[in-house]
Chains A and B, each alone.
Chain A
Amino acid sequence: MRSTDKQPDSGSIIVWTLLADSPLLWQRFENGCLLFNTGSGTTHLLNDPVPDILTELQSAPATVVELLDRLDLGSEDEQVVHQLSALLQDLDQLGLVWPENL
């Protein structure tokens, strides 16, 4: 774990988990990907790198830094870390991922 995985206010570690008790269905195209959440009945149009992020989280929960490493996106750049954090929060709003505080 690194300091970038910690919440600024509490200092706790956030591990992101795919929020899908029900299966996710995919339709992948060259320039976009459709995802159907069978739990919510909602269809999402996703651009890169969101499909890869969700696929990684489907295999195992991860912190932001772990996720960047697994996606080979480089975890040294603070700006990239913050961008991915913001993206995960957006996905949280869509009901696709869930932050767990350790």
Chain B
Amino acid sequence: MKIKDLSRQDLASKLSGTGLRWATGPFHIHLKSSVPGFSDYLHQLYGDHPVLQPPWSDIADFHLQLNQNNGYRRLIRPQVFFQMDGVNHLAPFPLDHAPPLFEWGWNFVIAGRANHFLILHTAVVAKGNRALILPGVPGSGKSTLCAALALRGWRLLSDEFALIRPDDGQIAPLPRPVALKNQSIEIIREFDAQAVLGPEFPKTRKGTVSHLKPPGDSVEKMSELARPGWVIFPHYQEGQRPILERVPPEYAFLRVAANAFNYETLGGAGFNAVGRIVRGCELFDFRYGNLADAVETVENLLASSRQSTEATP
């Protein structure tokens, strides 16, 4: 059963009762929420995710809650709190901003807890089982480029994390809604009129945020691991024609390591995992100023990589 197979009433009832348990990539989530309207967000944006059935429904990696204020604050400028294991982890948001709080809160606990992976702060998409890693600082355009590629048939692994298994270097997908900010929302609407976007949340700390629903096919294949094939460091600059420049592996190593949440926590395993990524990937800096041009450039890169791979005896 998928989340969208539940009626909105049943979904709201589960969330406010014993909680909803579902799977996203390698994680099992248990979420309770009585926040009005939050179930609609979940129904729309997580509709393709599978509801966990017994015996898996007894196990969860994250026990999360979205709670409202008590007392008079429930009436005056009400707020929503993000909790894991009953503990508040982030400052509260206005009650009508529960979805972005949920997404950021979940990011926060993954980054802090999932240390069985090397966690890169990056968008990741894949063609087949070969992954394109797009590490970038906020504003570099990684989520927008990731969204555009996902809308052009690339498999969405994540717009936020590359979960690298240290033992074999494979990436575990985590297909969740892609967080688009400010002008990126309109850019993606114009890029693909069929894109399913959730409600807009204005005046967050990152401006206006809206979430792109992950493609159903990406959710369907969320158990299929991907091998890193390319690392592209995107740099959006208005008016910039697309330019790909190779990055020497020793410098790419430092940039990938600096991009990880837990490189130092993993010690030697993190060092070896980053080395494996750098050795197994083509490495580029990518400057661009137009999304359609950027997608075409990346597609061409893929095609040329395939040709050179096929030409290699």
Contacts and interface: CB of A to CB of B under 8 A. Distances in A.
Chain B residues touching A, majority SS: helix
B137 interface: no
A45 interface: yes
Contacts of A41: 264, 267
Interface string B226-260: 00000000000000000000001111011001000
A57 B250 CA distance: 23
Contacts of B253: 27, 29, 34, 45
A25 interface: yes
B275 interface: yes
B248 A34 contact: no
Nearest to B276: A27
Contacts of B268: 23, 25, 36, 38
What's the interface size class on B, roughly? 10 to 19
B267 A29 contact: no
Nearest to B266: A41
Contacts of B257: 43
B299 to A, nearest CB: 28
Contacts of B264: 41
A71 B192 CA distance: 61
A74 interface: no
A50 interface: no
B106 interface: no
A27 B248 contact: no
B183 interface: no
Interface in A21-50: 23, 25, 27, 29-34, 36, 38, 41, 43, 45
Contacts of B250: 27, 29, 31-34, 45
Contact of B271 (A29, A30, A31, A34): A34
A20 B272 CA distance: 18
B100 to A, nearest CB: 34
Contacts of A23: 268
A95 to B, nearest CB: 16
B287 to A, nearest CB: 23
Given A32-B248, A38-B267, A43 B254 contact: yes
Nearest to B250: A32
Contact of B254 (A25, A30, A38, A45): A45
A23 B250 CA distance: 20
B272 to A, nearest CB: 7
Contacts of B254: 34, 43, 45
A22 B27 CA distance: 34
Interface of B: 248-251, 253-254, 257, 264, 267-268, 271-272, 275, 278-279
26 contacts: A25-B268, A25-B271, A27-B253, A27-B275, A27-B278, A27-B279, A29-B248, A29-B250, A30-B249, A31-B248, A31-B250, A32-B248, A32-B250, A33-B250, A34-B250, A34-B275, A36-B268, A38-B267, A38-B268, A41-B264, A41-B267, A43-B254, A43-B257, A43-B271, A45-B251, A45-B253
Given A25-B271, A41-B264, 17 more contacts: A23-B268, A25-B268, A27-B250, A27-B253, A29-B249, A29-B250, A31-B250, A32-B248, A32-B250, A33-B250, A34-B250, A34-B254, A34-B275, A36-B267, A38-B267, A43-B271, A45-B253
Interface of A: 23, 25, 27, 29-34, 36, 38, 41, 43, 45
Closest 7 CB pairs of A and B: A32-B250, A36-B271, A27-B275, A29-B249, A29-B250, A38-B268, A25-B268
